[in-house]
C-alpha cells in the first residue's frame, strides 16, 4: 500500500459525494469545529473570507492573517470567533513576528490554510531580490508553516492546506532561475511555477510531517467569479484565452460556467474537514475531491471552466519536491530537520 503521493501514487478521485457545484455550506454541514483553532492567510477577501465565515460558523476560532488591517476589520465585522493579525508575505520579518506571537499563546494549531496569493502581476521583487509571485504564493507559506510547526505538532491531528491553482500547469518550477535574473520576466511563468511549488511543498511536507500527525494538501478552488485576485491581470491575456470579448468584457456564456465564491471555497473546506482524508495526504484536490492525474488525457479549454482540471506529474515528482525543499531552506535561511 502506498504511503505517500510521490509521482501521484495516491492521486485518484474518491467517492466524496460532492462535485464542482457543491458549496462550502454543504461540505461543512454536520461538522462541529468547536475548540479547533485555524489560521487563514488572506482570510478577509474572496474565498479566504468565505473560508473564515464557514469555519467560524462551525465553531472554530479563526486567526485571519492580513496585510491590509483596515480592510480586514471592515470585511470581518460581525463574524464571531475571529482574531485579526498583521502579516505581509513580502516581508520575512513580518512572518516571523506573526508566528512568534501565535506560538507565545501556547495554543495548538489544528488548521493552517495558506490561502493568500497574487496573480499575473508585473515584475516586482522583495528586498532580497526574490520575485513577488514566488514570495507571496509560495516562499512565504513555506516560512510560515515551518515557523508554526510546534503549534501544528501540539494539535495532534493538524492539517496544512496550500491553496494552489490549475495555473500550476502553466509552468514547472525553474530551478535554474526561479527569480527571473537571467531570463525575461513572464508573469504566467512566474505564477505557474509558484503554484507548482505549492503542490511540491504539500507533497514533501506531508511525507515529512505525517509522523507528527500532520497532513498536508494542495488544492485548486476552480474558476471563481467575484474575487479580486485578478485586479492586476492584463486584459489581453484573457482575450487570448477566449474568456473575454474584444472590449475586455467577460463573455456571458463563460460567466455562467464559473463557480460562485461558496462553490470556490468548497474544496478548501473539504480538505480541511473530510474524514476521507484521515489517512491520505500530499494529494492535490479540486471539486471537493482528489484530482485526476493529467497524463495528456484531458482537453483543456479556458472558455469552458469544467475542463480546467487535473494535476501535472511534475508537481508531484519526488526529486523535484526534495530539491525544492532544500532550495527553500537556502532562500529563507531556515534549516528545519523534519
CA 114, 120, 124: angle at the middle one, nearest 5?
85
Measured between alpha carbons, how far is residue 209 from residues 153, 300, 325, 328 in Å?
A: 9, 34, 13, 17
- DSSP symbol at 85: E
CA–CA–CA angle 73, 60, 290 (5° rounding): 105
Q: What contacts 24+ positions apart, CB below 8 Å, involve 309-314?
A: 309/166, 309/220, 310/166, 310/169, 311/8, 311/11, 311/168, 311/199, 311/284, 312/168, 312/169, 312/172, 312/196, 313/7, 313/8, 314/172, 314/173, 314/196
By CB atoms closer than 10 A (0-12, 13-18, 19+), residue 216 is buried
φ, ψ (nearest 5 deg) of residue 159: -130, 140
191 is catalytic: yes
DSSP, collapsed to helix, strand or coil, labels residue 146 as helix
Inter-residue contact 212 to 196 (CB < 8 Å): no
Q: Which of 130, 138, 166, 191 is catalytic?
A: 191
Q: Which three cell numbers stand for residue 317?
A: 515528482
Give dist(CA 296, CA 127) in Å, integer.
Answer: 39
Whether 9 and 36 have beta carbons less than 8 Å apart is answered as no
* Catalytic site positions: 191
Amino acid at each position: 500500500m502506498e504511503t505517500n503521493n510521490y509521482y501521484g501514487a495516491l492521486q485518484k478521485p474518491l467517492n466524496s459525494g460532492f462535485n464542482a457545484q457543491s458549496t462550502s455550506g454543504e461540505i461543512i454541514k454536520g461538522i462541529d469545529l468547536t475548540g479547533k483553532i485555524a489560521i487563514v492567510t488572506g482570510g478577509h477577501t474572496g474565498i479566504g473570507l468565505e473560508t473564515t465565515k464557514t469555519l467560524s460558523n462551525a465553531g472554530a476560532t479563526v486567526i485571519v492573517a492580513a496585510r491590509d488591517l483596515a480592510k480586514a476589520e471592515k470585511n470581518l465585522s460581525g463574524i464571531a470567533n475571529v482574531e485579526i493579525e498583521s502579516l505581509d508575505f513580502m516581508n520575512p520579518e513580518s512572518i516571523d513576528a506573526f508566528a512568534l506571537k501565535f506560538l507565545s499563546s501556547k495554543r495548538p494549531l489544528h488548521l493552517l490554510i495558506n490561502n493568500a496569493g497574487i496573480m499575473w502581476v508585473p515584475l516586482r521583487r522583495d528586498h532580497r531580490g526574490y520575485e513577488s509571485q514566488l514570495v507571496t504564493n509560495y516562499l512565504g507559506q513555506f516560512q510560515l508553516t515551518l515557523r508554526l510547526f510546534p503549534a501544528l505538532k501540539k494539535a495532534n491531528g493538524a492539517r496544512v492546506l496550500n491553496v494552489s491553482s490549475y495555473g500550476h500547469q502553466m509552468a514547472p518550477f525553474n530551478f535554474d532561475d526561479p527569480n527571473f535574473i537571467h531570463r525575461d520576466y513572464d508573469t504566467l511563468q512566474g505564477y505557474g511555477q509558484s503554484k507548482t511549488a505549492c503542490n511540491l511543498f504539500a507533497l514533501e511536507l506531508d511525507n515529512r510531517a505525517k509522523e507528527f500527525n500532520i497532513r498536508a494538501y494542495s488544492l485548486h478552488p476552480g474558476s471563481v467569479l467575484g474575487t479580486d485576485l485578478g485586479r492586476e491581470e492584463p486584459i489581453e491575456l484573457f482575450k487570448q484565452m477566449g474568456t473575454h470579448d474584444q472590449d475586455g468584457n467577460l463573455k456571458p456564456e463563460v460567466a455562467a460556467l464559473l463557480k460562485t465564491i461558496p462553490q470556490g471555497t468548497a474544496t478548501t473546506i473539504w480538505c480541511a474537514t473530510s474524514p476521507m482524508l484521515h489517512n491520505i495526504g500530499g494529494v492535490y484536490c479540486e471539486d471537493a475531491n482528489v484530482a485526476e492525474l493529467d497524463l495528456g488525457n484531458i482537453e483543456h479549454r479556458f472558455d469552458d471552466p469544467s475542463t480546467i482540471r487535473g494535476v501535472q506529474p511534475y508537481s508531484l515528482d519526488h526529486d523535484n519536491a526534495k530539491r525544492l525543499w532544500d532550495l527553500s531552506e537556502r532562500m529563507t535561511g531556515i534549516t528545519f530537520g523534519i
